Structure 1
């Protein structure tokens, strides 16, 4: 079992997992680790999602790693480019050799006596059970269920004569050329799928219950590309990352502080792009403030252009049920379709659904508090990685990876073998993800708790979070101990 006994087990080989592995190599040399990935390829989300037009809705300069410059011309890039970038990063940095594919983490149990995690996995096509042992476990498995997306329970699916597909499991054999397509939903996936499918379909209808704020953004950053022409790759990448982070942060702050003015700007932009005030008022004017739910990006205004050209349209209403030739709304209107894409959202799932236990006792994550959105109260030597919902995922995940490297180093340098977040009392709290998006609201009861103050807070504010996290006092909220076994071993050696 030598190759399955490591200092750190990293769960997940997507953006966060590769980022975590790099920071461990860079900042904690000599630390042994294994990256366990359930899928048969690295990439995480960017390997799973293969629907038409799949892309990032964040600019690539803030989504990519700060330590590996993005060299392509586009600022908004497609999923295949991101997947290639992750493969290249893992290969060039030597991370690839530490990744174990087709290895699903089922459970992890902490032994106080041995100060070790026993991680149970299922490997290969036959799901053979094996175990890993680690001093520390770092979950980089995202925050949604890869196997089961949200199912709104739409009635009458069996009556529909066409085909129903979900973007999370896009079939390779789907032919929608010349067909009528209905995309159910109005989130980032729907905003992406509609213009992409409209290029081949007879017509695509986005069927939404509630409008979403959609903002057109250039696919290429002309200023950024000019900057990168005169600076070395790393300096140019850092300049772009800094510029875009500042712009995104300022944009979000403006939306929260001046919601009516920003909503007005979004409306004007949509009217100009579509050419119809009536369409915008009916279908692109949400009943909530900007960033109460995630705002969606349309690269080069592709969604607006498809609507303006007539290859796509939007219908707003509540679904009654599927019928033979499409979807009937509560109003009685039938939206006809040959293909229905149910872009109805994700199902929240933390730690990849792994059963966590301490000395054999299962842990309910909803009863824990999140220490700097990185560790969980009462659970020793375990970290998790989540990104921002209002900025690029990597802006937060890299912050977390660097903090975990500090914690691992202190365990090694001080001779401690256990670090546990401990919170005093039961302070007033809220779910860790404090946003009104559907998948977050549905999963509120599953989430760890967060307070208004550090170290038990996550502000969704990159400036405040970076200041607090990068300068974190590792004695504030964390308890460091040495197990009796370690002390005995030290005394014997003395």
Structure 2
């Protein structure tokens, strides 16, 4: 056996670390930072399937791609977002620049194995470790070799959707359409849409982001139609800091500005939950005010659900509303009958003319990056498991899951759970435990099972029977509350009655 540059024990196509992190996006970087800070000297490796770090932000490349959360909460707690322009909305490039700055500042890139696709992960109870089978690309060619990794601890930081394919429904007569049909997840770099008529199918965050960008600049489309089955709640929000957070930033620094946006987001969520009818009217009236009564049709802007039953679509500086008001884009609420040679036939309208059709129809849920996970060679039945404190699963040893909030920035929750996982590893290393796992109550004290994600969004509903569940009480409930999670993960002892430690 030999030792590699990161101190790992190596053999013939077998590499051993203390910790393996699967995924090199925001979650993986957070896990790596907290491990490095909390457990100095621990040997870890980030296994990233792509050529670059960044995850979602490296994958997607459609026009106008930006954050739908403010960057003061989307940025890491240990490295606050800083913008000379006081912008709070990050573009793809500024987000990647920020992430790469963090990686460089904390010297994390030396821990990354790029183009390493994890195929299987198996827990061996006898050895007390995880064994991962991977396919690694060699140099710049397409040849691959199988490499086996072993580690006591495993972090899944792969996100929650399929990087290979987005969700596209079966559209009748699809082949009849003569132009390109594009899903935003696979945006062609050389797409020419200048002076073209475009139909965007969908009304979620992707469509709301795309449409203003498609109608601007030298390459602008002649007209864009947003075709939706039902409306989404949308709201104007400033893209730059307003006077209150700007003053807090000036007098008290980055942390004060970050806390302002944390509390503002929590306030908006809970007021929507407490007064859904009033907030529904507020958002709908806001749209009419933005686009003008002549462009406003109530059926196009009145969702069928309560505010925050699905994520709210933010429109920085009202850019989407300005595009509708200008006449460069329009909204049609209808159902698709079929594609035709020249566009999309709907039930209530004539054919919507199109040179290009964009299917902004959502994501395909794929937890753990499609990795086959087994426990002593027995497949892990994901839907039968419960999520513990948002970062572990019952009876799955030394396995940590990165999952963010549905009602706030992804990174807020990631920062808390990855720090908690690192603290847990420090406890185990100090007290010489071999593994730990949360365990369900004994028979006779069965818990109520409820879906782990309580949104009504299509991509969640399509996959609710494929993902782990939650219950109704702590520590098996996902509270979607940053203050509560901060207290329970950072100030309460991690050594509770539910988490069992084994030597």
Partner of 1:91: 104
Change beyond 3 A, Cα 1:381–1:52: same
Q: Secondary structure at the match of 1:13?
A: coil
Change beyond 3 A, Cα 1:394–1:323: same
1:120 aligns with 2:133: yes
Q: Secondary structure at the match of 2:122?
A: strand
Partner of 1:339: 356
Retained in 2: the 8 A contact 1:370–1:456? yes
> Out of 394, 399, 411, which is 2:428 matched to?
411
Retained in 1: the 8 A contact 2:26–2:411? yes
1:68 aligns with 2:46: no
Deviation at 1:462, TM superposition (A): 1.8
> Out of 96, 100, 124, which is 1:111 matched to?
124
Runs ≥4 residues deviating over 4 A = none
Structure 1 residues 202-351: aligned runs within 5 Å: 202-223=222-243, 224-231=245-252, 236-276=253-293, 279-331=296-348, 333-351=350-368
Partner of 1:187: 204
Partner of 1:360: 377
Partner of 1:477: 498
Retained in 1: the 8 A contact 2:199–2:356? yes
Deviation at 1:149, TM superposition (A): 1.1
Retained in 2: the 8 A contact 1:430–1:449? yes
Aligned length: 478
Retained in 2: the 8 A contact 1:167–1:342? yes
In structure 2, what is the Cα distance between the partners aligned to 1:97 and 1:431? 39
TM normalised by structure 2 equals 0.93
Q: Secondary structure at the match of 1:174?
A: coil
Q: Secondary structure at the match of 1:177?
A: coil
Gaps of 5+ in 1: 483-494
1:136 aligns with 2:153: yes
Deviation at 1:331, TM superposition (A): 2.5
Deviation at 1:473, TM superposition (A): 3.6
Partner of 2:37: 26
Q: Secondary structure at the match of 1:279?
A: coil
Change beyond 3 A, Cα 1:194–1:278: closer
In structure 1, what is the Cα distance between the partners aligned to 2:71 and 2:294? 32
1:401 aligns with 2:418: yes
Retained in 1: the 8 A contact 2:424–2:494? no
In structure 2, what is the Cα distance between the partners aligned to 1:416 and 1:312? 61
Retained in 2: the 8 A contact 1:454–1:468? no
Q: Secondary structure at the match of 1:104?
A: strand
Cα deviation 1:103-157 (Å, max 9, x = unaligned): 1111100111111100111111323211111010000111111111112111222
Deviation at 1:197, TM superposition (A): 0.5
Deviation at 1:439, TM superposition (A): 0.5
How well do the aligned residues superpose, as a CA RMSD in angstroms? Answer: 1.3
Partner of 1:59: 70
TM normalised by structure 1 equals 0.95
Q: Which stretch shifts more, 269-278 or 92-101?
A: 269-278
In structure 1, what is the Cα distance between the partners aligned to 2:353 and 2:294? 25
Partner of 2:93: 80
Q: Secondary structure at the match of 2:94?
A: helix
Retained in 2: the 8 A contact 1:255–1:262? yes
Retained in 2: the 8 A contact 1:151–1:344? yes
Partner of 1:485: none
Change beyond 3 A, Cα 1:280–1:127: farther
In structure 2, what is the Cα distance between the partners aligned to 1:477 and 1:330? 54
1:380 aligns with 2:391: no
Retained in 1: the 8 A contact 2:168–2:183? no
1:433 aligns with 2:456: no
Partner of 1:35: 46
Retained in 2: the 8 A contact 1:106–1:120? yes
Cα deviation 1:445-475 (Å, max 9, x = unaligned): 1111101111111011222222222224423
In structure 1, what is the Cα distance between the partners aligned to 2:368 and 2:255? 31
